[in-house]
Structures are given as C-alpha cells and as structure tokens.
Amino acid sequence: MRNALFAAALLLTTTTAIAQPDTAAMRDEALRSDSLAWQLVEDLTTEVGPRLAGTEAEARARTWAAERLRGLGFSNVRIETFDMPVWVRGEERAEILAPFPQPLVLTALGNSGATPARGIEAEVVGYDSMEAFRAAPAAEVRGKIVFVSHNMQANQDGSGYGPFGAARRDGPTLASQRGAVGILVRSIGTDYHRNPHTGVQSFGEGARPIPAAALSIPDAEQMQRVLTRASARNTPVRIRLVLTPRQIGTRQSGNVIAEVPGSDPSAGTILIGGHLDSWDMGTGAIDNAAGVAITTAAAHRIMRAGQPRRTIRVVLFGAEEVGLFGGNEHFRRHREANDVVLVSESDFGADRVWRVAFNLAPGNQDLQRRVTAALAPLGIPVNRAPAGAGADLGGWARSGVAAIDLNQDGTRYFDYHHTPDDTLDKIDPAQLRQNVAAWTAMLSVVANAPERIEPVTPAQR
C-alpha cells in the first residue's frame, strides 16, 4: 500500500513536471474552426486528382505534399522512394449476348489479366457467395466466366468488408486455378448506384492472370435475375467481355515523411499517417485524401501549441491501394531505429470518429484513461476490441508497438469506396472537423504523456 501511494505520488510529481498543453481547448478549437484539413483535401483532390500508385500523378502528389508540409512548418520533410510493379486500366466493356442481350457496367480489378482487343465470349456460371463457389466442383467452371455474388450490408464498423471482400481477393485466383476464362464479382460495396467498385487482388502462386472485373451492384443483381431465368428455361447465359489492362513494368512510388520534433528524444516517436495514392476512377477524397488531411492538420495543431515531449512523425504512404507497398517499405526501412512507441492511422473516410480502440500495455492504463477522457466530450466511447492500427501501420502494431485506433463511422464508406464517386462533395466539413478534434486530443495526450509508453503484446486478430 505504501509502495502504491509512493508510486502515485511519484507519477503526480513527474506529471506536473512536464508542462501539459490545454488539450480540451485545442480539441474544442479544432471542432469549431479547423479549416486546414478541408483545404488539404480540396487542394490534393483538385490540383492532383486521381493518383494511381506508381504513375506520374502519384509523383505529383508527393511533390505537392512535400511542398505543403514544408510550407506548414514541419521539420525533416523528405520523400523516400521505392520501386514497384505497376498495372494500368484499359478498355472495359461487357454485354449479355443471350438470352437477354444488353450491356453491363463493370470495371477491372487490380492486376486483372486482359482479353484480346475484340474480347472473349463465354458462358457464365454463377454463385451466390464465395463459399458456394469454393464448394462447387472444379469441373463446373472450366472454360466459363465465373460470377460470384455476396451479401455485404452497410454497417457502422465496416466489418463486412473483410469477409465479403473475399469474392474480390480470392475469387480470381480460385477461378483461374479451376480453368475459368474470366471472373466477374459483385462490387464489394453497399450502394445502388451504377458504379462498379474496383480494388486490388493478386493472382496466387500458379494462377495464370485471367480477366477479372467487378459489376456495379445493380448489374450484379441483374446478372442474378438473368441467370435464374435462363436456368428455368434451360438455356445458358453468354456474355462478351472486353478488358485490356496492362502491367507496364517497374515504376517509382514513395512515402512522404514530415516531423514535429519532440523535446525528449528518449521518450520515443508517435507514428501517424494516411495514404497519398488513390484508385484511378475518383479523386480519392475519402480514400484517402481525408486521412492525409486529418493527421496532418492535427499534428500541425500540436506543433503550433508548442514543442511536444515526443516527436510526431507523419507519413503519407505511397502505393497502399495496390498492395501496401509504401507501408511495408517504411516498416522495413525504419523498424530497426526502434524509436516508435505508438502508431495510429486514418484510412476509413471522413465521417466522424465514433469510438476509440486501444492496444496499450497494462502499465499504461492511466494513459488510456486520459485519452478516453479527452475524447469523451466528442461523444466517443471505448471499443473493447484491441487496436491494430490500419493497413499501412499494421506491421508496427503486430511487432509489439502500442496502437490507438480512432474508428470512423463506416455506414456510408462503402457506398463510395473505390468508385468514380469518391469525390470531395462526399465529405461533410463538420464531420471532418470532428476527426481533427479527436486526433488533436489524442495526440496532445500521448505526445506529452510523462510516463513511458511501453511495448505491448500484439493484438490477436
């Protein structure tokens, strides 16, 4: 008991020894009046627009970002380049030839193989789910075009994306292994606009690239009706598919890095960020200009409030969409510096933060309590599931670095995700400000925490 009292007194002494910024005032000001995040999203989506990984547009985004970060007063702004294979979209068209001739709306999935310029014609074999496709006899699909549907629904935590996304991630490889000549999946999305959702997939070992595309959701449901009626009439559904994407070889991508230097190098670094690249169809406003803007604007607020104890490193990752090249490269290049004590990523749109998840060491319970208290006025409760950071920072979290996730409301996210509709107008300025407020509050507490931020047992996920 005496020891506990002594420890508490010591913590109190150290806590008061390090000047703490007025986190509540900084949070409330961001909520009321942040304009930097919106400016950054508007500028990036307007001045650069779509920025597919490895292209000249993504290179322009890096130049834009480095200039902006320097102009905002960040330190150690630099670009770290790396090489990667690049796939680009070509022509994409499809039509039902029989029994009910009509056009279909689709888009190629990342790394899709190509058809000849005049296309291919084949019979379609359809499955209601990836599970049904897996369970079907392999011989059923040989020489055919596979269609895989699913039943993803919108929800706040976005948890449908993992399981239902298997149709996109694993469907093309399985179809290729089974001798199919192509595959169409129902878009991994939740809207009823006639916009297909693209996304990456990679053909596994021994799977020859075949044409792989996503139908818009209305077109996928049309395809299901056509298949049902054709089957009742005992007649096949035949389509023509034209997809002419290309692998254009090795190109350069890169990560843009900026810092708010801390006053105490021994206290470690807080690593945050989002990704700079986007898919090619929209302007990548919610995915992920928003994450770039939210993390930059919040770090900028901490910088303006005075030097924090810990360094805040903002990394704007390249080539996330096409396979996490930038995140993997950053982890590989910098893990041995062993300075990162906490990671947090913003890559789930621009809608409000609705809960917070932690993966902190048992010894950092008081830090967790203080972050929770700083977020509570924004109506953000605690998610009891452990934080895992996001795609680009997951390597750090899995290696035992503490993580905090500011979970964003995903109800609308998959209406626009990876579609031509991912544009600036989908962002609600008030919700964007709430994100900056939540990030400012979290960063203010963790960057200035007087106690040590300890390594953790990686979250099991």
Site for Zn ion, rule CB under 5 A: 287-288, 347
Beta carbon of residue 274, minimum distance to Zn ion (angstroms, whole number): 8
Nearest distance from C-beta of residue 303 to Zn ion, angstroms: 25
Q: Which is nearer to Zn ion, 176 or 187 (CB)?
A: 187
DSSP, collapsed to helix, strand or coil, labels residue 134 as helix
When the beta carbons of 133 and 325 are compared against Zn ion, the nearer one is 325
CB of 346 vs Zn ion, minimal distance in Å? 10
Q: What is the nearest approach in angstroms of Zn ion to the Cβ of residue 316?
A: 12
Residue 150 burial (CB count, 10 A): 23
- Cα separation of 252 and 85, whole Å? 9
215 vs 276, which CB is nearer to Zn ion?
276
In the complex with Zn ion, which residue's Cβ is closer, 111 or 448?
A: 111
CB of 285 to Zn ion, least distance (A): 11
Residues 6+ apart with CB under 8 A from 349: 286, 287, 290, 408, 410, 412, 413, 416, 417
> What does residue 403 show for φ and ψ, rounded to 5 degrees?
-140, 150
CB of 389 to Zn ion, least distance (A): 13
Smallest distance, Zn ion to C-beta of residue 356, A? 20
Q: How far is the CB of 168 from Zn ion (least distance, A)?
A: 15
- In whole angstroms, what is the distance from residue 106 CA to residue 198 CA? 9
Judged by CB, which is closer to Zn ion: 182, or 395? Answer: 395
CA distance 327 to 335: 11
Ranges of beta strands (E only) in 11-119 are 75-88, 92-98, 102-104, 106-108
Nearer to Zn ion, 34 or 287 (CB): 287
Q: Which is nearer to Zn ion, 288 or 368 (CB)?
A: 288
Q: Phi then psi for 41, rounded to 5 degrees?
A: -65, -45
Smallest distance, Å, CB 287 to Zn ion?
4
CA–CA dist 252, 371 (Å, integer): 39
How far apart are alpha carbons 437 and 449 in whole angstroms?
Answer: 18
CB count in 10 Å sphere of residue 138: 11
- Our CB check for Zn ion shows the closer of 349 and 386 to be 349
Using the minimum distance from each CB to Zn ion, give the nearer residue, 287 or 405.
287
Q: Which of 314, 263, 264, 288 is nearest to 443 (CA)?
A: 314
The C-alpha atoms of residue 27 and residue 381 are separated, in whole angstroms, by: 16
Contacts of residue 87, defined as CB under 8 A and 6 or more positions apart, other chains included, come to 110, 111, 112, 245, 246, 247, 248, 322
Question: Token digits for 58?
Answer: 């993504």
What is the C-alpha separation between 93 and 37, in angstroms, rounded?
38
| DSSP code of residue 139 | G
CA dist 247 and 249 (Å) reads 6
Q: In the numeric block, which tokens belong to residue 349?
A: 């749109």
